[in-house]
Amino acid sequence: MGWIFLAVPLLVAVFGVIWLLSGVGHVSRGNAGKGGRGVLGGGALAAVGLALSLVGINAQGFARLTHEGPVAEVSVRAVDPANSLYIVSVRRLDGSFPPQTCNIQGDEWLISGRVQKWKPWANALGLDATYSLNQISNRYRSAERGNGKMITSCDLAGPAPQVNQYLPDWMVHWLIDHAYAEDRRFGDANYMPLADGATYRVVITQFGFNTEPENASANNANETER
202 lies in the same domain as 177? yes
Q: What pLDDT score was predicted for residue 102?
A: 94
The full DSSP string for 58-118 is HHHHHHHHT-EEEEEEEEEEEEEGGGTEEEEEEEESSSSPPPEEEEEESSEEEEEEEEEEE
How many residues are there in the chain?
226
| Shared-domain flag, residues 14 and 72 | no
Domain boundary among 64, 90, 114: 64
Of 33, 64, 95, the last residue of a domain is 64
**Cα four-point dihedral sign 173, 210, 190, 86:** negative
Determine the Cα angle at 133 with ends 127 and 137, to 5°.
Answer: 150
| Torsion angle in degrees (nearest 10) through CA of 226, 144, 200, 185 | 110
Give yes or no: residues 55 and 104 share one domain: no
131 and 44 co-located in one domain: no
pTM over 0.85: no
How much is the pLDDT for 167?
A: 57
d(CA 43, CA 49): 10
Same domain, 176 and 208: yes
The boundaries of the domain holding residue 159 are: 68-224
Q: What is the DSSP letter of 161?
A: P
Domain count, the chain: 2
Last residue of one domain, picked from the residues 29, 44, 64: 64
Q: What is the mean pLDDT of each run of 10 residues along the chain (226 residues)?
A: 58 75 75 74 75 56 66 96 94 87 95 87 73 92 89 82 56 59 82 96 92 94 81
What pLDDT score was predicted for residue 62? 46
The pLDDT value given to residue 63? 47
d(CA 206, CA 86): 31
Do 109 and 203 belong together in one domain?
yes
Residue 146 burial (C-beta neighbours within 10 Å; 0-12, 13-18, 19+): middle
Same-domain status, 17 and 107: no
